[in-house]
Amino acid sequence: MKNSTAKKLKQIPAGYLMVGVDPHKKKHAAVAMTQDAITHAKLKFVNSRQGYEEVLELVRAEMVKTGCRGVIFAIETASHYWRNLAYFLDERGIPFRLINPFTLKRRREGEDINRRKNDFRDAEMAAELLRTGKFIETRLPQGIYAELRATFHAYRRLVKERARYTNLLKGLLDGLFPEFTQVFKNPRGKTALTVLCQCPVPRIIANMTLEDFVDSVRKGFQGRALKVQKLHALHATAQSSVGIDAAAESVSFELSLLAQRIRLNEEQIEKMEGILVSLVDSIADSRYLLSIRGLSYISVAGMLAELGPLSSYRNARQLIKMAGSNPTESESAGKRSNHTPMSKKGRPGLRWCIWAAAVSLMRHNSDFTSWATKRQERPAHAHPLKQREVVGAVANRLLRLAYALVKKQTMYQMPQPAEAAV
Are 31 and 50 in contact by the 8 Å Cβ rule? The answer is: no
* CA 393 vs CA 179, 249, 298: distances in Å: 40, 51, 20
Tell me what pLDDT residue 329 has.
Answer: 77
Distance in angstroms (rounded) separating the CA atoms of residues 7 and 403: 22
Distance in angstroms (rounded) separating the CA atoms of residues 154 and 35: 41
- Fold for domain 15-140? Nucleotidyltransferase; domain 5 (3.30.420)
* CA 240 vs CA 114, 171, 173: distances in Å: 66, 20, 15
Domains of the chain, by residue range, sit at 15-140, 147-278, 286-326+342-408
Distance in angstroms (rounded) separating the CA atoms of residues 357 and 350: 10
**Edge-to-edge strand list for the sheet holding 27-33:** 39-46, 27-33, 16-22, 70-76, 96-99
Burial of 144 (0-12, 13-18, 19+ CB in 10 A): middle
> What DSSP designation does 13 have?
-
Distance in angstroms (rounded) separating the CA atoms of residues 405 and 252: 53
The pLDDT tens digits along the chain (422 residues) read 456 888 888 888 899 999 999 999 999 999 999 999 999 999 999 999 999 999 999 999 999 999 999 999 999 998 899 999 999 999 999 999 999 999 999 999 888 877 788 899 999 999 999 999 999 888 899 999 999 999 999 999 999 999 999 999 999 999 999 999 999 999 999 999 999 998 889 999 999 999 999 999 998 888 788 999 999 999 999 999 999 999 999 999 999 999 999 999 999 999 999 999 999 999 999 999 999 999 999 999 999 999 999 999 999 999 999 999 988 877 776 677 667 788 888 899 999 999 999 999 999 999 999 999 999 999 988 888 888 899 999 999 999 999 999 999 999 988 776 543 33
* CA 214 vs CA 211, 239, 253: distances in Å: 5, 15, 20
* CATH code reported for the domain at 147-278: 1.10.287.4070
**pTM score, whole prediction:** 0.87
Are 340 and 327 in contact by the 8 Å Cβ rule? The answer is: yes
User: How much is the CA Rg of the chain, to the nearest whole Å?
Assistant: 28
